[in-house]
Amino acid sequence: MRPLRLLALAAVVWALAVQAAPVPAGRTGQVVSVSERDFAAARLGRLGLDALMEKDGRVYLVVSADECAELARRGVPFADETQRLALAAVERVGAGGGVNGAFHSPYEMETDLRLLEEAHPDLARLSEIGRSLEGRPLYALKISDNATVDEHEPAVLFAGCHHAREWISVEVPFLFGKYLLERYASDATVRALVDASEIWIVPIANPDGLQYTIDVYRYWRKNRRANVDGTYGVDINRNYGYAWGFDDQGSSPHPGSDVYRGTAAFSEPETAAVRDLVQAHDIRAMISFHSFGQDILYAWGFTSEPAPSDAELGAIGRTMAGLIEAVNGTVYVPGQASRALYVTNGDLIDWAYSLAGAPSYTIELPPVDIDHGGFFNDETAIAAVFEENRPAMLYLVRYAIDHPLLRRPLSPVRRERSVLSQTRKPKLVLRQP
């Protein structure tokens, strides 16, 4: 497994290089490793050194020339890892890429999640929470101290890629998990959050659809259910069990529609897997990432009536919007989903909120509109989008730790009758090759 470990280290260095990780000004970015014993004996933790990770009995540090000199002055033996890891990072970059560039395919995500788990065995546990229609594993990464033990701590869920074409929604939750694991040793804030909670990362809720966007059609949205009428796909963010099929405006009964809700609530294995994960843990907050629009949306989506804790949901949303804007000025607009965007029923946040009042949000990531990329994001924007969302995500984890839930499921709602709408497929015209 040594190559995997090397890859993990390389990924760390590479991430530092390309994602402009916040290395303090004045540091050279040189990576050195010291043994854990020497690290503890010399009390290096008190120096505020920028620790990347712990691996194979060694602690990897990003240090400046002055800090290097300090290590030498204290007589701490250290090894310069910069060149070795950079070389491995280059190899990693060469092995990645593909049609989807720096974005993850399901296969690449599986590889990277396993690398994270292997690099942080005490903090990360990768679970297969189900299988997609086409048999791809659905993964959840649990991040907590003693990750292999169920400590019944407050849990927070960050999910991505309910909609296949929203590639950026895969990256933000994944990078958040990566950030937590790699900063745990060196960042007291991160450590406190991870120690007091379970953070669940489901970066790809719709792997079949994502693969289809890579192989065949970039703008595919739904999963790959073969419907009875010959069309394909259920919108899995219209397939959750609260207010499912409430009306035909917030979802569609027609299989050909892009917002087809399926034949029944949780009819899709992808939504059933997320349901089971949520119900098995004390989920106190969650974010479902989507794109595009730069919105922070909260319940209700199925009705324009306010949710019972509308004020609290709004306050949290506004706080998160403020934290995001403070990073580099990008404006995300908070609001009740049905009012701020459009009516949806059977989506994840309404259902998750209905269980016990957990603050649940859909964050529509950049760009702001179709003229600036729509469901496309430049590869170089991945890191920036994550960085601007990171403070809000950390805030929500802290909020979940500090605030209990309503602990009372909300009443189910009855389906409304309304005029059906149908999305027609384009008529096909063929030419001979």
Partner 1 sequence: MERTLLPFAVVTGCLLVGAPAAAQLVLGQYEDEAPLASWNQLGSPPAPSLGLGGAQLARVWDLTQSLVNPALLTSLPRLSASVSASYGGASLDKYALVNTGVVESIGLPSVGLFGVDGGGVAGRAGPWAFAVVVAMPESYGRPAIAVGSGGYQLTFSQTGLLRVFHAAVARKLPGGLSFGIGLNAVAGRLDRSTVEQSVSPGATVTITDDKSEHFHGLYVNAGLTWRATARLTAGLAVRSPYLKKGPATSLLRYEVPQTGTDIRIAAEAENAYRQPWVYGIGLSYRFSAAWSLAFDADHFGWSRYTATFFDEPRERSFRSVVRAGGGIEYLAPTRFAAGTARIPFRLGFIVDPQPVTTVRTTYLGLSFGTGLELRALAAGISASFGRENGSGQNLRTARIILTLRYHFRE
The answer to whether 365 and 168 are in contact (CB under 8 A) is yes
Scan for tokens 């997609």, then name that residue. Answer: 132
Please work out the total of residues on this chain that contact partner 1, with binding judged by CB under 8 A: 43
Q: Is 289 in the site for partner 1 (CB under 8 A)?
A: no
Smallest gap from residue 109 Cβ to partner 1 (A): 11
The interface mask with partner 1, positions 373-392, x = CB under 8 A, is: xx-xxxx-------------
Candidates 3, 97, 404, 412: give the one binding partner 1 (CB under 8 A).
97
CA gap 340, 133 in Å, rounded = 33
Scan for tokens 């199925």, then name that residue. Answer: 302
The interface mask with partner 1, positions 140-179, x = CB under 8 A, is: ----------------------------------------
Smallest gap from residue 272 Cβ to partner 1 (A): 21
The interface mask with partner 1, positions 255-274, x = CB under 8 A, is: -x------------------
Give residue 417's identity as a one-letter amino acid code.
Answer: R
Q: Which stretch binds partner 1 (CB under 8 A): 53-61, 271-279, 297-305, 372-380?
A: 372-380
Give residue 87's identity as a one-letter amino acid code.
Answer: L
> Could you give the strand order of the β-sheet that contains 58-63, starting from the edge strand earlier in sequence?
50-55, 58-63, 30-35, 79-80
Q: Which is nearer to partner 1, 276 or 378 (CB)?
A: 378
Q: For 235, phi and psi rounded to 5 degrees?
A: -75, 105
Smallest gap from residue 175 Cβ to partner 1 (A): 18
Q: Is 219 in the site for partner 1 (CB under 8 A)?
A: yes
CA gap 290, 267 in Å, rounded = 21
Helix/strand/coil for 245: coil
Candidates 98, 121, 404, 409: give the one binding partner 1 (CB under 8 A).
98
Q: Which stretch binds partner 1 (CB under 8 A): 74-82, 102-110, 187-195, 344-352?
A: 102-110
Q: Is 128 in the site for partner 1 (CB under 8 A)?
A: no
Q: Which is nearer to partner 1, 158 or 212 (CB)?
A: 212
Residue ranges in 399-428 that form contacts with partner 1 under rule CB under 8 A? 425-428
Q: Which is nearer to partner 1, 183 or 225 (CB)?
A: 225
Catalytic residue (choose from 364, 379, 387, 416): 364
Smallest gap from residue 211 Cβ to partner 1 (A): 9
CA gap 89, 115 in Å, rounded = 14
User: What is the secondary structure of 251-273 as a DSSP string?
Assistant: SBS-TTSTTB--SSTT-SHHHHH
> Could you give the strand order of the β-sheet that contains 283-291, starting from the edge strand earlier in sequence?
124-131, 137-143, 198-202, 155-159, 283-291, 360-365, 295-298, 333-336
The answer to whether 295 and 324 are in contact (CB under 8 A) is no
Q: Which stretch binds partner 1 (CB under 8 A): 36-44, 95-103, 174-182, 305-313?
A: 95-103
Which helix (DSSP H) or strand (DSSP E) does residue 122 occupy? Answer: none
Q: Which is nearer to partner 1, 43 or 424 (CB)?
A: 424
Residue ranges in 220-239 that form contacts with partner 1 under rule CB under 8 A? 220, 222, 224, 230-233
Q: Is 433 in the site for partner 1 (CB under 8 A)?
A: yes
CA gap 405, 246 in Å, rounded = 25
CA gap 219, 294 in Å, rounded = 19
Q: Could you confirm whether 416 is annotated as catalytic?
A: no
Q: Is 292 in the site for partner 1 (CB under 8 A)?
A: no
CA-to-CA dists, residue 122 to 102, 119, 198, 422, angstroms: 28, 9, 13, 50
Candidates 215, 276, 305, 402: give the one binding partner 1 (CB under 8 A).
215
The answer to whether 63 and 71 are in contact (CB under 8 A) is yes
The answer to whether 196 and 401 are in contact (CB under 8 A) is yes
Q: Is 212 in the site for partner 1 (CB under 8 A)?
A: yes
Q: Is 305 in the site for partner 1 (CB under 8 A)?
A: no
Binding site for partner 1 (CB under 8 A): 95-101, 103, 105, 107-108, 212, 215-220, 222, 224, 230-233, 256, 370-374, 376-379, 425-433
Task: List active site positions.
Answer: 364
